Amino acid sequence: MFEKFRTFEYTLAGRPLVIETGKMCGLANGSCLVRYGDTAVLCNATASAKPREGIDFLPLSVDFEEKQYSVGRIPGGYFRREGKPSEKAILTSRVIDRPVRPLFPKDLRNDVALTLTVMSVDNDCSPEISAMIGASVALSISDIPWNGPIGGVFVGLVDGQVVINPTAAQRENSTLELTVAGSAEKVVMIEAGAKEVSDEDMYNAIMIAHEEIKKLVAFINGIVAEIGKPKFDYPSGDFDHEMFDKVFDFCEKDVMVALDTDDKNVRDERMLPIRDAIVEKFSEEYPDIADRMEELVYKIQKKIVRRWLINDKKRVDGRRMDEIRPLDAQIDLLPRVHGSSMFTRGQTQVLTVCTLGPLDDAQELEGIDEEVSKRYMHHYNMPGYSTGEAKAIRSPGRREIGHGALAERSLVPVLPSKDEFPYAIRCVSEVLSSNGSTSQASVCGSTLALMAAGVPIKAPVAGISCGLITEDDGSWTTMIDIQGLEDFYGDMDFKVAGTHKGITSIQMDLKIDGLTPAIIKAALETTHKGRDYIIDEIILKAIDKPRDEVSKYAPKMISMKIDPEKIGDVIGQKGKVIQKIQAETCSEITIEEDGSVFIAAVNPEGGLAAKAAIEAIVFEPEVGAIYNGTVTRIIPIGAFVEFAPGKEGLVHISKLAHTRVEKVEDVCAVGDAMSVKFLGVDEKGRMNLSHKDCLPRPEGLPEQPVERPRRSFGRKREDKQ
């Protein structure tokens, strides 16, 4: 049955990597099961038999599927099955899409789907890297046209040493989370989060990763040589070059005039009559030209913009290649929020709002890794009006999720610890206007909003992008702060965020087959200068340091530590004690397993009152000490007094007064205030109290009351006998 079953073995970072083919998924164009340690990912590549009509792009979809059974869990929720992809799964899909997409033929219009299903997880062997390798193998051995293979590795920096595919324990101590993909010749994709890693260390880590990737690519090429299929032929999706040449000659000068402005609205307005003129001139010769107008205009503009950049070193808006657009930063735009800012770079404008909340507001995660929650959340929204489009608001797409995660990753390294600043933090970046690099504007705006909100970040973070134009002879030119046209028509969007000290994140998008080491080094140097300028000249001039206090509208946080064995006393039966404290003090209380307590209250007095209540509960009463309490209930032999929240003891009837008490009700009633002396805990764990020891002794009363003789009913019975 499995006569085509083959296995191919390789050692990656000291652990076995096994590629299995021919046993599963026989109807897919290309399929393999990747085993890395105990991690197993099923990777399938499929393509439609015919191209999709009426499109001018490659319809590629990449889906990284997290199955809860892979980590021995049953999904939560009512249906108990996997629902929409987690944020981590979406981000992984994007990380795999970026190195794979540029290597498809530019004129391929067949639908292509990569489905990468995680079936078993070994935390020491990344399922994300396994999926990237599997995607490369599945495409390479399939009949789908693709100019791979690529390889991918994860890189850590542990004690100053570069580690390829670090284990879970090593990742805990790593200052770098770097994913690199590449071909045998070039680096195709870089994605990084870092704790202020220097440009030099980052560059070295990328180069070491690429050396490992070269060996991995050779291994995959060996598999292709043995079982690879011939690539299928397809009808080219490119349009008539003769038509393009005629149209370009007709409108070249007009388009050059239209593009020569730094205002996107002006440029779009100038292009409208040119579009109409093209249709009027060529509709008879090319009846479908109106349907191809978007692709046609794109290619005309691309040819002109690239020619300017390559031949004249001229940018659309007239800037030098190393010049950043005009910048502006403002804070405190919104009066009631906890922190707000607006960052503007040219026609890109982002408003960021920071909200502080109790730690219970941290996001709970349900994925296949070991991360179960996060206290810092960054969300990014890009509505239609930001690009001048009339479109309804939809739920966040992969791009919005990806940009929010990139900004989040950029800022996490400078956030204070939970102990230093016991808040859950959420930043929301609203893109008001988009003309290039909104994700990095979100980073800058979020730094400002965090500082305005009083979050004591360790250092300000700025983000900037670097573009690239390559020529046929291999020469190239980089440019800083690319705007929309330069992103669309250029070859690279190399986004780097960081502090003065070092890099906190990188994300690289390519439209070509990869980068050389020289381009990578130049991009790192260019973006470092750019972010230094933004921090010094814009961010620190808007607000020079985080505010000393949070907004009056933000909850005030108080943290304390209690004995973990006392947690139950603070919570009380069915949560009654903690709920009572929260209701009476208008506060929110979070208690962690280690005894850490975090109290949030908009009114500082309420937070202090809640803290005092908890301290009263967890303290150990001292024998002989006097406390003020309240009578909670009465029984024939005494009164129960709550002398601290959740702590109740019995004042025996004999301890209510210095004189004989016939009925407890003669001395007190429920609700009365009563001072009591703590006498200790008896053998049954009951707390014994005394009220009379808190009262002055009446004059003439003997020190020890005379004990009344007890009647002996047994003796009387003996006398009668």
How confident is the model over 12-44, as pLDDT tens digits? Answer: 999 999 999 999 999 999 999 999 999 999 999
Q: Do the domains at 6-168+196-227 and 556-618 have one common CATH topology?
A: no
Q: State the sign of the Cα–Cα–Cα–Cα dihedral 196, 199, 200, 206.
A: positive
Question: What residues pair up with 6 in beta bridges, in sequence order?
Answer: 21
Q: Given a cut of 90, is residue 538 above it in pLDDT?
A: yes
Q: Given a cut of 80, is residue 313 above it in pLDDT?
A: yes
Contacts with 84 (C-beta within 8 Å, 6 or more apart), sequence order: none
Strands 176-182 and 187-197: antiparallel
For 155, phi then psi, to 5°, come to -125, 135
Three-class HEC string of 576-592 = HHHHHHHHHHCCEEEEC
Distance CA 10, CA 20 (A): 12
Q: Given a cut of 60, is residue 2 above it in pLDDT?
A: no
Q: Is 528 within 8 Å of 498 (Cβ atoms)? A: yes
Residue 161, SS3 per DSSP: strand
Q: Given a cut of 70, is residue 645 above it in pLDDT?
A: no
For 478, phi then psi, to 5°, come to -100, 160
Q: What is the pLDDT of residues 377-428, one digit of tens each?
A: 999 999 999 988 888 888 889 999 999 999 999 999 999 998 899 999 999 9
C-alpha Rg value of the chain to the nearest Å: 35
**Residue 533 CA: distances (Å) to CA of 105, 463, 477, 541:** 40, 11, 21, 11
Q: Which residue has the higher pLDDT, 167 or 360?
A: 167
Distance CA 363, CA 377 (A): 8
For 701, phi then psi, to 5°, come to -80, 125
Angle, alpha carbons 238-243-248 (nearest 5°): 105
Q: Given a cut of 60, is residue 707 above it in pLDDT?
A: no
Of 60-74, 141-155, 207-221, 637-651, least confident by mean pLDDT is 637-651
Contacts with 653 (C-beta within 8 Å, 6 or more apart), sequence order: 636, 637, 638, 661, 664
Q: Given a cut of 90, is residue 709 above it in pLDDT?
A: no
Domain ranges of the chain: 6-168+196-227, 241-312, 327-542, 556-618, 626-694
What pLDDT score does 200 carry? 96
Q: What is the pLDDT of residues 460-474, one digit of tens each?
A: 999 999 999 998 888
Angle, alpha carbons 523-525-529 (nearest 5°): 115
Q: Which residue has the higher pLDDT, 203 or 646?
A: 203
Q: Given a cut of 80, is residue 627 above it in pLDDT?
A: yes
What pLDDT score does 475 carry? 87
Q: What is the pLDDT of residues 221-246, one digit of tens each?
A: 999 999 999 999 999 888 778 888 99
Structure tokens at 110: 């067949």
DSSP character for 692? G
What pLDDT score does 702 carry? 64
Fold of 556-618: Ribosomal Protein S8; Chain: A, domain 1 (3.30.1370)
Three-class HEC string of 322-372 = CCCCCEEEEECCCCCCCEEEEEEECCEEEEEEEEEECHHHCEECCCCCCCC
DSSP 529-572: HHHHHHIIIIIHHH-SS--SS--TTSPEEEEEE--GGGHHHHH-
Q: Given a cut of 50, is residue 169 above it in pLDDT?
A: yes
CATH architecture of 626-694: Beta Barrel (2.40)
Residue identified by tokens 């509505």 is 383
Q: What is the mean pLDDT of the chain?
A: 91
Tell me the pTM: 0.84
Distance CA 452, CA 553 (A): 13
Distance CA 181, CA 575 (A): 51
Distance CA 266, CA 226 (A): 57
Task: Say whether the peptide bond before residue 149 is cis (omega within 30 degrees of 0).
Answer: yes
Structure tokens at 475: 């020469």
Fold of 327-542: Ribosomal Protein S5; domain 2 (3.30.230)
| CA distance between the termini of the chain | 104
Q: Which residue has the higher pLDDT, 207 or 370?
A: 207
Q: Is 484 within 8 Å of 441 (Cβ atoms)? A: no
**Residue 375 CA: distances (Å) to CA of 34, 84, 195, 408, 625:** 34, 22, 17, 11, 42
Q: What is the pLDDT of residues 259-290, one digit of tens each?
A: 988 888 898 899 999 999 999 999 888 888 88
Distance CA 655, CA 675 (A): 12
Q: What is the pLDDT of residues 560-619, one digit of tens each?
A: 999 999 899 899 988 999 999 999 999 999 998 899 999 999 888 999 999 988 888 888
Distance CA 393, CA 381 (A): 10
DSSP character for 101? G
Q: Given a cut of 70, is residue 716 above it in pLDDT?
A: no
DSSP character for 698? P
DSSP 170-197: HHHTBSEEEEEEE-SSSEEEEEEEEEEE
Residue identified by tokens 């992103």 is 487
For 334, phi then psi, to 5°, come to -115, 125
The total number of residues written for the chain in this structure: 721
Percentage of the chain with pLDDT > 70?
Answer: 96
Fold of 6-168+196-227: Ribosomal Protein S5; domain 2 (3.30.230)
Q: Looking at residues 335-353, what average pLDDT do you find?
A: 96
Distance CA 433, CA 431 (A): 6
Distance CA 422, CA 675 (A): 37
Contacts with 257 (C-beta within 8 Å, 6 or more apart), sequence order: 270
Q: Of 622, 621, 620, 625, which Cα lies nearest the Cα of 677?
A: 625
Distance CA 431, CA 620 (A): 55
Distance CA 361, CA 359 (A): 5
Residue identified by tokens 């195709």 is 188
Q: What is the pLDDT of residues 505-532, one digit of tens each?
A: 999 989 998 999 999 999 999 999 999 9
Residue 444, SS3 per DSSP: helix
For residue 287, count CB atoms less than 10 angstroms from its CB and return exposed for 0-12, middle for 13-18, buried for 19 or more: exposed
Q: Which amino acid is at 106?
A: K
What is the pLDDT confidence band of residue 3, given thresholds at 50, 70 and 90? low
What pLDDT score does 721 carry? 39
Q: How many CB atoms lie within 10 A of CB 366?
A: 14
Q: Of 511, 466, 489, which Cα lies nearest the Cα of 304?
A: 489
Q: State the sign of the Cα–Cα–Cα–Cα dihedral 342, 438, 413, 395.
A: positive
